[in-house]
Structure 1
């Protein structure tokens, strides 16, 4: 769907967006020229990518506290899935293309927006996926750490107050950094990152109250993965049948991005969907693998630390393997398989091999 086309409701929505962004506000929230903070903000945008949840936080926390690792995956996957659905429904614009297509600047010069390699996201802009993912993941980490550290402490004790204050200060510092970086690189408007933070916290709090995810069967994982995938594809096909092109943003990204090399297939909505579905299904496969059951017999601190180091090292190497992008269908399929491999290897294969190797070493020393 092109900007301004379609049902009257969508026209009204876009007009409301233009009213919101009009005046001088846009010129204050996006950069006009390169600044000394460019590298910093680009680095922030990369550091708080949801990818780090799967390749760094999950391996560490799963081997330290299994329940926290499992909850991290559920929060990240469901949060990103909801983010996709919201984006398809809300038709959020992005600053780097909106400024060229809005009618507000017809009688004046269009402000210049500097673009960066992280600017040219190909999906709709509202709510911010980076902000929503960071809020969900770090809210989960903070509440989990507090639950572990303060399980025997009184809420009014000085230690409790200090720890709570420190962690929540860190949490909000991270959120501010993520939001500012996304606005700085012209990937989002302020209201989009704000909506992302609130949505992410709601998802995380919802999973703080769910206990069934820790005992979900493989059938549950399969059915939920299939439902989420079918719902998203069904919504896409339904809206397409109604004349709504949910890939309208891809054309805008290709048209207005100053460097075509910055438009990546892995930022499309379907790439995100397949990665998340692969991750969730891979977690289910790993937790119900015979290797996982066998590896649980050895859970010493030595084994856990070895599993963390091995997981981080192997996953870092594995992440350097990029699926070919010349064929979209093949790219999506391989993205699903790659994402499924990450939790499967972390949960079952690496612990089994590490515990076996350390057990064999201990026997030789006797």
Structure 2
């Protein structure tokens, strides 16, 4: 692995030197590939196009991110920004690389969560869009266009993660392949219309199984928090270390979103039936609502309070998109029959 890591560092150096003028573009792309974007950006846009596809996006995002957390704990992947210093292989010749505000994630590096969740979630989007285009046009070429964009997006997200020193190339490739497989498998098993008990049980099961895995690894003498210490040690700026990139933030986000999805379908089974114009209005209002929910500052001490509020934040997300905003739009735009 040492040789693979070393080549990955020199690849990142070359990439930064050749494309540093596109720094802002890479940072935007890495934000688009953030698993959080699947919940706050892709989910509402997809839901108001197709309710089933929207539910599938939230479902696939939560399960794929949870699996990514489990894989990371089991695989102990390094990250470039700390491996450069820890390896002690570059004492005589330091690579000419720099870190960015999105570099210093605290979880292990393998596989890439950005690549894995992006591949899984956007497979749902492009397959739904491809089917829609084919049903309307019967053009194979036109319906294949979303799949081409899918490949371009995966490549772009992968390059952005290498560029900012968050991942090695092999971690991006493994994440993309794993996410692609998960997207195909999970999109065919969407829990649309399932009872609230299913989502409550599933959310609790994910939470408890992860805590048990964490406790079990610690009992075996495995330091599950090893990556957090390295991230703090080698990050260029302490303020770039954020609690919302910690492994347990991913867990609480996934469990909260799944419980929220169950609650939303319980409050309003099937969602609200809206024409295209009210749907567009609902999308705009939902996006603004989610933007402000995401920006709500949470206390980082004690960590348990942060994780609890982070959980609640993502329970709220499906309520805004599926129940509250479409319900208000329906109330104000629906014309009663005489």
Report what 1:203 is aligned to. Answer: 182
The size of the alignment, in residue pairs, is 336
Shift of 1:26: 2.4
Distance 1:162 1:102, change over 3 A: same
Does residue 180 of structure 1 match 2:155?
no
Does residue 117 of structure 1 match 2:96?
no
> Secondary structure in 1 aligned to 2:165?
coil
Shift of 1:300: 2.7
Report what 2:13 is aligned to. Answer: 30
Matching residue within 121, 124, 134 for 2:118: 134
1:153-199 deviations in Å (ceiling 9; x for gaps):
65xxxx222330x2122111111110111001111000000011001
Any conservation in 2 of the 1:279–1:340 contact (CA below 8 Å)? yes
Measured in 2, the distance between the counterparts of 1:116 and 1:37 equals 13
Any conservation in 2 of the 1:294–1:352 contact (CA below 8 Å)? no
Measured in 2, the distance between the counterparts of 1:204 and 1:353 equals 33
Does residue 354 of structure 1 match 2:337?
no
Does residue 169 of structure 1 match 2:148?
yes
Any conservation in 2 of the 1:87–1:125 contact (CA below 8 Å)? yes
Distance 1:98 1:321, change over 3 A: same
Moved over 4 A (4+): 31-34
User: Aligned runs of 1:78-117 on 2, under 5 Å?
Assistant: 78-105=63-90, 108-117=92-101
Measured in 1, the distance between the counterparts of 2:11 and 2:274 equals 54
Any conservation in 1 of the 2:106–2:231 contact (CA below 8 Å)? yes
Any conservation in 2 of the 1:92–1:126 contact (CA below 8 Å)? yes
Shift of 1:99: 1.1
> Secondary structure in 1 aligned to 2:217?
helix
Measured in 2, the distance between the counterparts of 1:152 and 1:352 equals 29
Q: Which moved more, 1:200-209 or 1:262-271?
A: 200-209
Report what 1:262 is aligned to. Answer: 240
Report what 1:242 is aligned to. Answer: 220
Distance 1:284 1:103, change over 3 A: same
Distance 1:307 1:25, change over 3 A: closer
Matching residue within 294, 300, 310 for 1:335: 310
| RMSD of aligned Cα (Å) | 2.1
Report what 1:275 is aligned to. Answer: 253
Measured in 1, the distance between the counterparts of 2:28 and 2:284 equals 24
Report what 1:14 is aligned to. Answer: none
Any conservation in 1 of the 2:193–2:269 contact (CA below 8 Å)? no
Report what 2:274 is aligned to. Answer: 299
Measured in 1, the distance between the counterparts of 2:41 and 2:95 equals 39
> Secondary structure in 1 aligned to 2:70?
helix
Larger Rg: 1
1:54-105 deviations in Å (ceiling 9; x for gaps):
2222122222211000000111000000100000000000011001111534
> Secondary structure in 2 aligned to 1:245?
coil
1:36-71 deviations in Å (ceiling 9; x for gaps):
222221121112222222222212222221100000
Measured in 1, the distance between the counterparts of 2:281 and 2:90 equals 59
Report what 1:13 is aligned to. Answer: none
Does residue 224 of structure 1 match 2:202?
yes
Structure 2, gaps ≥5 residues long: none
TM-score, reference length from structure 2: 0.93
1:307-357 deviations in Å (ceiling 9; x for gaps):
222211222222221212132111100000001101012111222222112
Any conservation in 1 of the 2:80–2:168 contact (CA below 8 Å)? yes
Measured in 1, the distance between the counterparts of 2:247 and 2:166 equals 15
Shift of 1:293: 4.3
Measured in 1, the distance between the counterparts of 2:270 and 2:171 equals 46
Shift of 1:214: 1.4
Matching residue within 24, 45, 50 for 1:60: 45
Shift of 1:141: 0.7
Measured in 1, the distance between the counterparts of 2:33 and 2:136 equals 32
Measured in 2, the distance between the counterparts of 1:254 and 1:269 equals 14
Structure 1, gaps ≥5 residues long: 1-16
Measured in 2, the distance between the counterparts of 1:76 and 1:92 equals 21
Report what 1:143 is aligned to. Answer: 127
